[in-house]
Structure 1
Amino acid sequence: MNPEVELQKKIVALEQQLEKAKREKKGLEKELESKNYFLKLFQEQLKEVDRLMEEKVDKKTLHLQSYANLALEKPDPVFRISFVGKLLFCNEAITKIGQEITMYTHKLNFDTFLQKIAELVEAQQTNVEIEVKTQNAYYSFVCVPIFKESYINVYGRDITTRKKVEHELNNTANRLTTLITNIRSGILVEDNNRKIVLTNQLFCDYFNIPIPASQLVGADCSNSAQQAKYLFKDPEGFVTRVDQILQDQQVVLHEEVAMADGRFLERDFIPIFDGIEYTGHLWKYEDITERKRTQFLLQRSEEKYRQIIENMNLGLMEVDINTIVQYSNLSFCRMLGYTQEEVTGKHAGHILAPGLTKEKENEIRAKRLTGVSDIYEMEVHTKEGEPLWLLGSGGPLYDSQKQVIGTTGIFLDITRQKSMEADLREAISKAEESSRAKEIFLANMSHEIRTPMNAILGMSRLLHKTPLNEQQVSFLKAITTSAENLLVIINDILDFSKIEAGKMQVEHVGFEIQETLRQVVEVLSYKAEEKGLLLRTHIHPKVAAVLRGDPYRLNQIFLNLVGNAVKFTNEGHIDIYADVKFETPQMQVIEFKVTDTGIGIDMEKMAHIFDSFTQADNSITRKFGGTGLGLSISKRLIELMGGSMEVISEKDKGTNMTFTLGFDIGNSSDIVKNDMPQNDEYVLKGSKILLVEDNEFNRFLATTILTNYGAIVTEAINGAEAVRICALQNFDLILMDIQMPEMNGYEATEYIRKSLQKSLPIIALTSNAIKGEKEKCLSLGMNDYMSKPFEEKTFILCCASWLGKKYENLKKENFLNIPQASYQKLYNLSILKEFSRGDQSFVQKMVTIFQDTSTEALVQLREYQQAENWAAIGSLAHKMKASIDNMGIQSLKNEIREIETLGKGDIQQLDIDRLNELINYVEEVINQVLHSLKEEELV
């Protein structure tokens, strides 16, 4: 509530109390007058008694006795005292106050009392009232001197109640005076005759009154308006208005008055009534100059920003708490086709239909009441029914008391943007459709070209193993070279497609830079030798022996750059440099250079050498061939790995291609091992393999290679035949082509998994080398993926790894949840062997320890599971993961860590079903490992 209104109420209440006290005082005064009248009568009676006593001296004693009897019967204290202070007589009321008159007079401060009596006698006063305070009460004593007889008759009355009322009235008046004195408004209280009852100093300051406020009480204010009118901007208007207010005797609140010096006062007038009787009024003046200035600045600011909003074609609307429109600017009305009159006072839901639903309205109201602003979009209809999209920004609207009274909304017409978004979505949809068509085309092209390429290269390698004369070797080399060149073109196009789609991924594994460059030189050396070129590598000693990064992409970059150098250099040399540009204890930034003495590049062609399908000169394509993608792919691969590349070249003087890449420093244990198993010719011996392939040459090639390594191969020409064969026979491994007639590889795999319930390893053999094909194969139940054409070594290694152990006993659901883990070799002792430095007893000891601790751990794991002690399970998993890692059990590497994380996490959010599933899987795999270790007699 407004503190000024509260103060006014308090003032009115205090005034009412004051008037009530005055009425009570008047009543007491009337009662006192009545007593005085009685006393006067009594005095006259005493005088008459005295006269009679003078006339009849002999009857004096009798008269005195009669008077004494009369006094003794009065309820109020009455006594007679001589001029010298001797008590002549008293009634019984005196004894109620004190047992002895000496005590009573002592309580009355007898010396002061006698002094006042002496003053009374000396002044020859015939009647005087003396107020005396006792210990517990107040008394009023009327003293009537009898000069002839030299004594005083004293008549007492208890006035304690009246004194308490007067004291309370005085306290109330003092509090009221203090309050009004300290209030931040000028206060003037006048009675019905315009006499000042109360005022404060601030009122005097406002009206330039030089007299202190305390001295104005009782002053006449009848002509005060005339005296003060010069202070106001409209002097006569001020006087007229004051007269009118006094005549109306009605409450006036918050009336503004302009002063001549530029200030503003706010005036309140409150009439005061005692019942229906007008007893006075209260004026209150407050300086609101600062408030007016703030309001003026705020109004100017609002007008300024309203104008800005208008100029920006932004719609502005203000609604109250009930969503009734209080204001809308012209821009908003123009947007929707309304006039301001048509909008003001209407429910916003009618104007912003159908976007502002009842639910949306309630949501917005709830946000505003909590002071929340937001941005939203809504579709509305214009007055003519046309659809319109608005972007709205809404915030709470406050009053002067910081109370939310509604919402302010600013609206922007985004219909055109929405239309553009729709067009953009359609364009994106078409682009995605085009991209999918492109991917399908690339997949088909890859399949159609790679399938015969697989047969050509495979048969060429097989033919190379047979006795050939010199001419046949030359022919075979030409065939192989042509096929490899064609394969390079296909790979370039597919790699470029992957990079364009953002689907190229970068590995982070250990490798030796010296071995990577050796492989590059080995691949390209025969071409360099043919042209009489010198191909050299220069690796700075500071370069770490083992780095962590993507050796495959690095090899691809070097093959492109060095291959181009060999292609475009007719004489001279090609040099490959590797040097440390920057290093820390954990990483090195390596600068690589490939320099040649070739044909170089013209300056005007340099800006386009990284463009796709572009070469420095059209004649180059005719003379040297190629897709023009090599440099573009290399640059993008370097950038993908966080590096940069630059080219410096001069026509006919050679080219210098420099790029930098950052690598983590690794160690020998980070290097990926990929060695062919011992006794290659027996690695697949006795393995039953089902080869599913519709291409005759590919079947012949794969069968020949597998048979050379001891495998027993059964062929199927499509997925339907493979399903029929698989239903009748058991195999150790299936090699599954993807694109086949009748039933493709996806459908066949799904049938074998779900219908035949067979969980043997299935490896996809596909010519689709585009990104996403591998993930699709794995998601449909296959265990690995190999792109054709493949290297014989890689092909045999893949088959050998999946045939290392068979896991038919694993449950189907575990296979479905973790497709690869269930079929990989269960353990790998290479880490232990590396640690052992050739000590086989060390390896056997570590395996024995693993068997003992794992058996015990599985028992504890079940106990904790039954007791639902999830934290203990997390701690146990933490202990188990080290031995699982050392044993190379890759199928549990992620699962044991997930168990640890779940066990140590929030119990309230624990996925118990997932945790139990993982525990069951870990137990099953470890039991299989222990069983396999016993079978291989390693423990």
Structure 2
Amino acid sequence: MSQKAREKSIEIIGIIDSSVPKKLNGDLSRLRQILLNLLNNAIKFSHQGEIVLRMRSTPLAPPFHRLYIEVKDFGIGISTAEIKTLFQPFVQADASTTRRFGGTGLGLSICRRLVEAMQGQIDVISQPNKGSTFWFEITLEAHNNEEINPKNIALHNKHALIVDDLPASRERLSQQLSEMGFIVTMISNRFDTLAALSNATHAFDIALISKNLDFPSSQQLASDIHALPLQHNLPLILLSSNSTIGQTESAKAAGYAAFLSKPIRSNTLYSAIELVLNQHNAPEQILVTTHQIGEQLATKKQHILVVEDNPVNQQVVVKMLEKLNYRVDIANDGALGVAAVAAQNYDLVLMDCQMPNMDGYAATKRIRATEQSGQHLPIVALTANVFKEDILRCQQAGMDDFLSKPITLIALQTALDRHLQPSTPSTSAQSSSS
């Protein structure tokens, strides 16, 4: 859901309490459907700020746990009268939401049926203009082969500074760093950051700075930190929830050692910290490699663009590609797909044929028209029509292959294998041969 959130400058933060077992037995598909529904509604009815997904667990008679999950937003909210009918089929809180937010927010009745099918309960706490917290509880069985990961000794008792103006984001980052062994200090603004570093009784080993800080810019903050006595070598990692072209270079110029896009998985954060600290001990390597840490982690995977306007189809294809270990971007129509190809080197494009504004045929022709001699970006059509004339139309537009909907994992892998070299990092996709 992060791409949809970025389009509205909303940050999604997931916080899993330590009380939750590492492995639980349950219905993964139902749980995913419920969470997608709740998160999609939270994004739809929010304007800005953050959406927080929290999970905690209460142990019952072994081996069972009562799992509590909530999705909290700071959007338009719901009145008490409307809440009473919210989970009933074909009911929406306010008819005007269809026009204002591009949908009715339905699907809650389905969530209720799914939760009850898992012997659970679901409800909401909300007030108009003060946001909503949708929560549900289900009972699951803990897996009996749970593994406990000890804190990393190399990071134990090192000091980390977090600078982020969103409380839930600070909480999540602190949780991740504490699990690695860091002693964490959290700060919400520039002035307290500079004061803490100036007056600290101990040295900080690393600092994580969020780019959503409003003033001054994160670039200026990095310069101010490195201008302080004893802090000119403090490794800084820039975190952004809305990455744009050129941010990596500007982060490097400001003095950051790494640049990571939110939401940040713990293993990605750990790898970046490990690289930064290792390179901090080898200064001759910093100027060449540290600004590329985020890219190094991502470009180990081949990069695929999915051009598709249907949110459900997007989710299905993205899940399949992630399972096959590809890096994925999404464009919601043909025009955005053309712009994405112009701005980024992709290894392959999956192109839906029927889309508003600009369909897949027109988008493919536009991409082909911009390719120089020797360049050819593989484009695979996604279409529900598999008649001979449809295949011919795909070929005439410049597409290399097609996949018929609904797409299967095996068919997708087979098509990708035909056009991609195995285990080749994304370097210059537009210059690869078909």
Give the TM-score taking structure 1 as reference length.
0.18
The structure with the greater share of residues assigned to helix is 1
Q: Identify which of structures 1 and 2 has the higher relative contact order when contacts are C-alpha pairs closer than 8 Å and 6+ apart.
A: 2
Give the TM-score taking structure 2 as reference length.
0.37
Which of structures 1 and 2 has the bigger CA Rg?
1
